[in-house]
Homo-oligomer: A and B are copies of this chain.
Amino acid sequence: MNTLPDIEKDFAQWYQDIIYQAELVDQAPVRGCFIIRPYGWAMWENMQQYMDARIKATGHQNASFPLFIPQSFIAKEAKHVEGFSPELAVVTHAGGKQLEEPLVVRPTSETIIHDSFSRWVRSWRDLPLKLNQWCNVVRWEKRPRAFLRTTEFFWQEGHTVHETLQEAETEVQLMLNEYVSFIQGQLSIPVFVGEKSASERFAGAERTYAVEGIMPDGRALQMCTSHLLSQSFAHAFNIKFQNREGEQAYPYLTSWGITTRVVGATIMTHGDQKGLVLPPAIAPIQVVVVAIFKNDEEYQAVANELDFIQSNLADWRVFSDLDRQKTPGAKFYHWELRGVPVRLEIGPRDAKARQVVLVNRFTGQKTTVPFDQITQVVAAEIKNIQDGLYKKAQERLERLVIVGQKLTEFGPQLEERGVACVTGWCQSPECEQALAPYKASTRVLLDTQKVTHCFNCSKPSPRDVLIARSY
């Protein structure tokens, strides 16, 4: 058994170690790429399943667009090509020959999807058009970290077309709100939500909204974005429709996505010194039943009760650990490291007394539970853990986010104390650039006005901004 680094003193190393020890990922032979192992992939599958249902319930349909995009497509929207060029992977040879036009491995699919939209959209009757795809994308990553920054990553990207700016804005907010309820409700992560500054905007968007979590080291992690692309891409890809007045018009576009980064956010937000602590909603195993026995007779006595216990746990993802090689202690360690929310222990004496010992991974509390109360007690514990994780993370977030007036005062604290800061900002790019020496940036504009003057120039600030170092 390897010991995890001190989570308080060396959070970065703790993360680096837990992702391998809990068998979430392995290194790949290609720089910047990672192998996602079954336990890590199952977390993502649970997240996908929830979000996919929500995406469909809000009137979107899934489709699939090609992995490869002609290089000339990327170049069509001026800011888009400028933003993505340094990160592209390019296929130059295929089928044994050099290609006439190199193909870009998609870093995002606006260009190839908008090309299709230009053929599919003819009339206002074709609108709104609301598509989504789950896929892999590639952005060449110089400083890779598993889940957080990887050359290949996984996401959904939604792409929609609307008659009016108002409808497009409504769509952008709709999906932003879906993301927030997913992240808060399923991942138990408290967040900041708001618009990005011009310099942090998606390449080619008119407005970008984002959801940001604050990790235990005070750094912000952008978990998803929702973009009002407006008409720039419609012009670039010549998407036109006949409007209700019979005139040719350019529609308003949006795009929005959430990535495998949220797996990293979940690990960092809830983990403790013993390892992962997973929100039940997305835990691959929600309840582990650990059989405790010394010999064949005891094994049999315990094993005989497992069917009954499992039949009382039909609503949850359950795994029964009947391993005959490992000691009970090794099993406890194994499942605590992997963050299984509820552990039920049953030994021969428990079997006889028709009870189990329940251990809550989040609180560490042990409770003896009679067989006939297992269903209701487990249901209550699962709910308590889901809610408790959020509450604990919310309390930490409140400690980690300070309100600051002047950059010269709060700037040094960002790294020294590991905090983020809510402050005022005149919204000029010049003042934003003053954050660079502190390795910090504006994360999102907020609806509050706790501070009335800019952190840098002291001019009036119309609204607060979240400032942090970021992942």
A: which residues have CB within 8 A of B? 26, 28-30, 33-38, 41-42, 45, 61-70, 73, 85-96, 102-103, 105, 112, 115-116, 119-120, 125, 131, 135-136, 138, 140, 142, 151-152, 154, 325
A-B contact pairs, 6 of them (CB 8 A): A26-B119, A28-B66, A28-B112, A41-B63, A67-B152, A90-B93
Shortest distance in angstroms between A264's beta carbon and chain B's nearest beta carbon? Answer: 15
Given A91-B89, A135-B136, A116 contacting B26 (CB threshold 8 A):
yes
Shortest distance in angstroms between A327's beta carbon and chain B's nearest beta carbon? Answer: 15
Contact between A38 and B131, CB atoms less than 8 A apart: yes
In the complex, what residues of B have CB within 8 A of residue A112's CB?
28-29
In the complex, what residues of B have CB within 8 A of residue A86's CB?
95-96
**In the assembly, what is the distance between CA of A30 and CA of B103, in Å?**
8
Shortest distance in angstroms between A441's beta carbon and chain B's nearest beta carbon? Answer: 22
In the complex, what residues of B have CB within 8 A of residue A135's CB?
136
Contact between A70 and B37, CB atoms less than 8 A apart: no
New A-B contacts (15) at CB < 8 Å, excluding given A35-B66, A91-B91, A91-B105 = A26-B116, A28-B66, A29-B70, A30-B70, A35-B116, A37-B63, A38-B61, A67-B152, A68-B151, A85-B96, A88-B96, A89-B91, A89-B93, A90-B94, A96-B140
Shortest distance in angstroms between A280's beta carbon and chain B's nearest beta carbon? Answer: 20
Name which residue of chain B comes closest to A125, CB basis. B325
Shortest distance in angstroms between A15's beta carbon and chain B's nearest beta carbon? Answer: 19
**In the assembly, what is the distance between CA of A96 and CA of B26, in Å?**
27
Contact between B90 and A62, CB atoms less than 8 A apart: no
Contact between A92 and B90, CB atoms less than 8 A apart: yes
Given A35-B116, A70-B29, A89 contacting B96 (CB threshold 8 A):
no
Name which residue of chain B comes closest to A133, CB basis. B41
In the complex, what residues of B have CB within 8 A of residue A96's CB?
85-86, 88, 140
Contact between B33 and A68, CB atoms less than 8 A apart: yes
In the complex, what residues of B have CB within 8 A of residue A154's CB?
64
Partner pick for A105 among B28, B105, B120, CB 8 A cutoff: B105
